[in-house]
Amino acid sequence: MTEFATFAGGCFWCMVSPFDEQPGIKEVISGYTGGHKENPTYEEVCSDTTGHYEAVQIAFDPAVFPYKKLLEIFWQQIDPTDEGGQFNDRGLSYRAAIFYHTKEQRALAEDSKEKLAASGRFQKPIVTQILPAGPFYPAEEKHQDYYKKMPFHYNHYREGSGRARFIRENWKKRKSDEELQKELTHLQYEVTRKNATEPPFKNEYWNHTEEGIYVDIISGEPLFSSLDKYDAGCGWPSFTKPLIRQELEERFDTSHGMRRIEVRGKTSDSHLGHVFDDGPGPDRARYCINSAALRFIPKDRLEEEGYGQFLKLFN
């Protein structure tokens, strides 16, 4: 048995892969719906003159993957409080919406929206519309399965648009201290959750020189690149700059009778280390970071582990 689900979530490139490889999913097509022009082109839809949304239409087996689970995935790809587009993509064609095909789909969609609003996950109102499905026009072939055809550009776009970061910050489950104590070593836990400092010259990465990136050991957020790492002579990994400055949070720290700037992971709220103004770069920054707060991913594993957008750094 095959049923159809239609979702608009901003750029349709980013709405295919979350559904594509789930069990019971037969096909995911990028296209246009909700407007008044037959067989519109991508350029016409983007001009906001056709009334269409960029959307995906999913053919699925409800016995294997029920519509309720599709809704759960849909909500976790979007900002449901944004009525003017999604992330950096603005305009009518980038609005989010659920297009229902049956009365049952409508009831399930409305119920899921009500539950999301009641959950308190978002401070703003949930504004994503629930609309009857109409004609769906497949997009041009170059837009189909874009994440497979152009993986580098897709990953770069997904990160650069703000979508990936929004999903990480708003939908990633934050683990409890009890869970972290089981998953991390004693030192990793003490550093990240208790603001401890590991011994200098006796930690994993202080003299590590392999090419790759360093990510937050708890959240997996990309933090630093080996290209910005240098030997500061202090016995801890030191970097001249972060990979993505927005992933870090800096706080004034007066502990131990000192005046320092602490660096924390924004998503994980992990203690990472401190930043000083005695570095070799143009802005003099030296990010002095605990190895115990980091996980290293070599450049030949970046694509495999979902960090393919950073491969360009090493080419």
Tokens of 36: 């008044």
d(CA 133, CA 67): 15
d(CA 179, CA 182): 5
- Within a 10 A sphere around the Cβ of 172, how many other Cβ atoms? 14
**Contact status, residue 286 vs residue 277, Cβ threshold 8 Å:** yes
Of 29, 49, 14, 11, give the one whose Cα is nearest residue 41.
49
Q: Which residues of 209-232 are buried (b: 16+ CB within 10 A; e: fewer)?
A: eeebbbbbbbbbbbbbbbebbeeb
- Give the residue numbers marked as catalytic: 11, 288
Helix (H) / strand (E) element for 197: namely none
d(CA 95, CA 129): 9
Of 310, 293, 292, 290, give the one whose Cα is nearest residue 301.
310
